[in-house]
Structure 1
Amino acid sequence: MSKRVVVAGVAGVVVVALVVGLYLFQPWRLWTDRTADEALLVPAGPTTTGPTTTGMTTGMTAGTTTGTTRPQPEGPVVVASGPFRSLEHATTGSASLVRLPGGGHAVQFESLDTSDGPDLYVYLSARPAEAEEAAFGSGFTNLGKLKANRGNQVYEVPAGTDLSGVRSVVIWCQRFSAGFGVAPLARA
C-alpha cells in the first residue's frame, strides 16, 4: 500500500470525525443567542385573583346568604413560581406555572438567560429544584423544545397532565443528558 493511500484514508476518517463532532456538539452555540419576546400570560409584579363574592344576599329574602364562593379569576393566575438555579450552564430568570381561565395550564419564563445548546427541552418534574442534576433526566412531562435561550416565553401544558406532584421546571439537553437550569415551582 502506498503512503499516499494511507494518508488519504486517515484524512477521510479525520474529516468524518470532525463533521460528526460538529453536528453533535455544535460548538458555535457557545457564541450564539436566540431571543424570544412572547407576551407573558401574567405580567411581572403583584398578581391578582379577581373579585370575590362572600355572603351574597338573594333578592327574595333580605339578609339570607347563599354561602361563600371561591375567588373567580378573570384571567390567568400564577399558581406556582420560582427563580432559576444554574446546573451545568449559568441560568437566570424565573418560571411560573399559570392557571388559564379555561382550566388549562401553561408555564412562562420571564427574563430567561442561559446558554444556547443543541437539543434543549423544557420539562416539568416531580423532583425538587435542589435535587441532583441527574434526577431530572427521568420522570418528567416534556413541554417541547426550548424556543430561545433568552427572553420571555410561554409553554402550554398538555391537557390532562397531573400537576399535583410537579415541583420544578427544567431546561434539559436531551443529546447529552445534561441540565442547564432548574426553577422550583413553589405554590403561590
Structure 2
Amino acid sequence: MSKRVVVVGVAGVLVVALVVGLYLFQPWRLWTDRTADDALLVQAGATTTGAMTAESMTAESMITPSGTTAPPAGPVVVASGAFRSLEHDTAGSASLVRLPGGGHAVQFEALDTSDGPDLYVYLSPAPAESEEAAFGSGFTNLGKLRANKGNQVYEVPAGTDVSGVRSVVIWCKRFSAGFGVAPLVQG
C-alpha cells in the first residue's frame, strides 16, 4: 500500500511539473506562425527625411507661406533599419514614423521571426549593436507583439521622448531574451 502511495505521489508531481513546463515554454510555438497585414503608414522603399537631428524628431515641422510652422501633411519616416537576430532568426525592417498630429508610431515591414510565449515590442535607448542584456531595461513598451510575421504598426505612447531612441526590440519578457533588434538610424 505504501509503495502505491509513493508511485501515485511521484506521478502527480511529474504531471504538475509537465503542465508548468508546457505553460512556461510553450514548445508548440516553435512550429506555429501568426501573420499580420497592417496597412503601412509609409510605403516600402520610402526614405527618411533629410538632415534630421535627434531634437527635430519630436519637433519636425514645415514653414508655411505665412511664416508659421505646421506639421507635415502625412506620415514621415524619421529613422529606420533592418532587424538583426538575437536569440532567434529575425528578418525584416522597422521604421519610426512621425504622424501628422505630432505623435509617433513604429512600423515593421516583412517581419519574420519565431513565435514565442510572451513577446513584446520595446523602443530602446541602447544602440542595436549592444549586448542583448542592454535591451532589457530603460525601454518604452509598445505592447505585445501581435504576430511573428508580416507588416505591423505600433503606436508610441503620447508624450514619449523619441529623441533618445536608438533601436526597436522584440523581447520575450518571460525569459528576458531578445528575439531580434533593429537600429533606428536617421537617413
* Partner residue, 2:8: 8
Please list the CA deviations of residues 45-65 of structure 1 after superposition, one character each: whole Å capped at 9, or x if unmatched.
23487xx779x6xxxxxxxxx
1:18-37 to 2 correspondences below 5 Å = 18-37=18-37
Instruction: Give the conservation status (yes or no) of the 8 Å contact 2:42–2:77.
Output: yes
Structure 1 unaligned runs (5+)? Answer: 57-65
Is 1:116 the counterpart of 2:115? The answer is yes
* Partner residue, 1:187: 186
Q: Which amino acid aligns with 1:5?
A: V
What is the RMSD computed on CA atoms of the aligned residues?
A: 1.9
* Partner residue, 1:63: none
Q: Which amino acid aligns with 1:81?
A: S
* Partner residue, 2:56: none
Please list the CA deviations of residues 150-186 of structure 1 after superposition, one character each: whole Å capped at 9, or x if unmatched.
0000000000001111000000000000000000000
TM (normalized to structure 2)? 0.88
Please list the CA deviations of residues 72-121 of structure 1 after superposition, one character each: whole Å capped at 9, or x if unmatched.
53210000000000000000000000000000000000000000000000
Larger Rg: 1
Structure with bigger helix share is: 2
* Partner residue, 1:136: 135
Mapped to 2, the partners of 1:129 and 1:48 lie a distance apart of 18
Mapped to 1, the partners of 2:46 and 2:127 lie a distance apart of 25
- Of 2-11 and 20-29, deviating more is 2-11
1:4-153 to 2 correspondences below 5 Å = 4-47=4-47, 73-153=72-152
Mapped to 1, the partners of 2:137 and 2:24 lie a distance apart of 22
Mapped to 2, the partners of 1:156 and 1:2 lie a distance apart of 60
Higher relative CO (Cα under 8 Å, sequence separation at least 6) belongs to: 2
Mapped to 2, the partners of 1:109 and 1:48 lie a distance apart of 15
Mapped to 2, the partners of 1:78 and 1:165 lie a distance apart of 16
Q: Which amino acid aligns with 2:21?
A: G
1:169-188 to 2 correspondences below 5 Å = 169-188=168-187
TM (normalized to structure 1)? 0.88
